[in-house]
Amino acid sequence: MKKLSLYVAPALLVFAASTNATDYPDLSIGGYIMVDHDQFSDLYLEDEENSNDGTDIRRARLSAKAKLSDDWRSKFQVDIAEGEFDIKDAYIQYKGMDWANITLGQQKEPFGLEKLTSSSDTFMIERSMVTEALAPGRSMGVKLDGNPGNFTWNIGYFHDDNSQNSQGVTGRLTWALIDQDDNFIHLGSALSERKRNGDEFRINETLEVYSSDSLLEGTRLDAEDMSMASIELMWQYLGVVSMAEWIETDIDDATRGEYHYQGGYYQMSYPLSGKNRRYKDGKLGTIKAKHDWELTWRVSQFELEQEDRKAQTFAVGINYLVNKDLMFKANLIRAKHQEDGETFGYDNAFSFRAQYSF
């Protein structure tokens, strides 16, 4: 599937670039780079001989968006961090119908409020444990979406990007009351039913510190069927954003039976300018201010029920928006995890990010 997007999307963008600019004026090239540094205690390691810090070029992305005609759009995005060429988005979109848009290609599945928020716009440096472990990301597929009145809806059929066997249907519905200044209240829910046909599935998550070890390790499952559900709530008023989400997943293994995973988070942010973030089509965007400080915090938890493992984190952060292109983020994380009834922690970690967009 990824090979198909490797050829189709660039061809469309070359077509757009070579067409008369007065007919198709909306070809844009952009991207961003993120450099992260982590410091953490031994709690975040499986082996105390491992390093207690790490520095990474976390993301280095280049994207091209094109308006092919009044009704057709295209996007192609790649990540070249760590010397690897990884296709992220590669799709075309038809917007010529009143009731729905059609998107074909590799794209984000419509699941998870935090997952659908761009990594450059998230409150904290890392997304929550449950989002990273359970919410599906980008897949090859076809999606329909629309936004009648106060509602948005999305439904799509997708193939897992890393497998030829796994496929599923994912949908999301949101409702919001919004005023002209982007003060709003938002409710949403998403479902995904997937056939994995024996593909391996395993939870393998860190405690929200990227350079640390993966301490939340689940059983290796030969998954046959997988059901995911989420509920989300968000509120914004005069800059204050409050966001909560809960995700549950059931996985059926023909030999081991059914495994249940669940978790959620609650997080808040406040920019000192009091400026609201942008909000559109059920997704949260950037702060409207050109220069700002933002205070953030989050509590999250994740439970592996059959494995008798769970983890909780508490994080506070500060984001410094120098201008619309340059931002710095700093997070202090306290975490604990439990395994077979034994509790480890709380203990500390510190993460820092510099990100530049162009």
In this predicted model, what pLDDT tens digit does every residue of 177-233 receive, in sequence order? 999 989 999 999 999 999 999 999 999 999 999 999 999 999 999 999 999 999 999
Q: Are strands 216-217 and 283-287 parallel, antiparallel or unpaired?
A: unpaired
The gap between the terminal CA atoms of the chain, to the nearest Å, is 29
Burial track 158-173 (b if 16+ CB lie within 10 A, e otherwise): bbbbeeeebbbebbbb
Q: pLDDT tens for residues 173-186?
A: 999 999 998 999 99
Any idea which of 45-59, 65-79, 113-127 has the lowest mean pLDDT?
A: 45-59
Q: Are 93 and 68 in contact (CB under 8 A)?
A: no
- What distance in Å separates the CA atoms of residue 144 and residue 102, rounded to the nearest whole number? 5
Query: What's the chain's average pLDDT?
Result: 91
Largest CA distance in the chain: 66
Lowest mean pLDDT among 71-85, 237-251, 327-341: 71-85
Residue type, 334: R
pLDDT, mean of residues 37-64: 92
Kindly give, in sequence order, each residue whose CB lies less than 8 Å from that of residue 320, ignoring residues fewer than 6 positions away. Answer: 292, 293, 294, 327, 328, 329
In the structure encoding, which two tokens stand for residue 87, read together?
């296709």
Q: Write phi, then psi, for 130 (nearest 5 degrees).
A: -65, -35
- Per-residue pLDDT of 302-316, as tens digits, reads 999 999 999 999 999
Q: Are 139 and 159 in contact (CB under 8 A)?
A: yes
* Residue 205 CB contacts under 8 Å (≥ 6 apart), including other chains: 129, 132, 133, 214, 215, 216, 302, 311
Write a three-state SS string for the chain.
CHHHHHHHHHHHHHHHHHCCCCCCCCCEEEEEEEEEEEEECHHHCCCCCCCCEEEEEEEEEEEEEEECCCCEEEEEEEECHHHCCEEEEEEEEECCCCCCEEEEEEEECCCCHHHHCCCCCCCCCCCCHHHHHHCCCEEEEEEEEECCCCEEEEEEEEECCCCCCCEEEEEEEEEEEECCCCCEEEEEEEEEEEEEEEEEECCEECCCCCCCCCCEECCCEEEEEEEEEEEEEEEEECCEEEEEEEEEEEEEECCCEEEEEEEEEEEEEEECCCCCEEEECCEEEEECCCCEEEEEEEEEEEEECCCCEEEEEEEEEEEEECCCCEEEEEEEEEEEEEECCEEEEEEEEEEEEEEEEC
pLDDT single digits (tens) 123-137: 999 999 999 999 999
| C-beta neighbour count of 254 within 10 angstroms | 11
pLDDT at position 84 is 81
Q: Identify whether the C-beta of residue 278 lies closer than 8 Å to the C-beta of residue 181.
A: no
Q: What pairs with residue 102 in β-bridges?
A: 94, 144
Query: Among 276-280, 286-290, 346-350, which stretch is predicted with the lowest mean pLDDT?
Result: 286-290
Cross-strand pairs, 347: 335
Whether 85 has a pLDDT exceeding 90, the answer reads: no
Task: Place 24 in a pLDDT band, splitting at 50, 70 and 90.
Answer: low
**86-90, 273-277, 330-334, 340-344: least confident range:** 340-344
Q: What angle do CA 269, 270, 275 make, to 5 degrees?
A: 125
Give the residue from 316, 181, 189, 182 showing the smallest Cα distance to 245.
Answer: 189
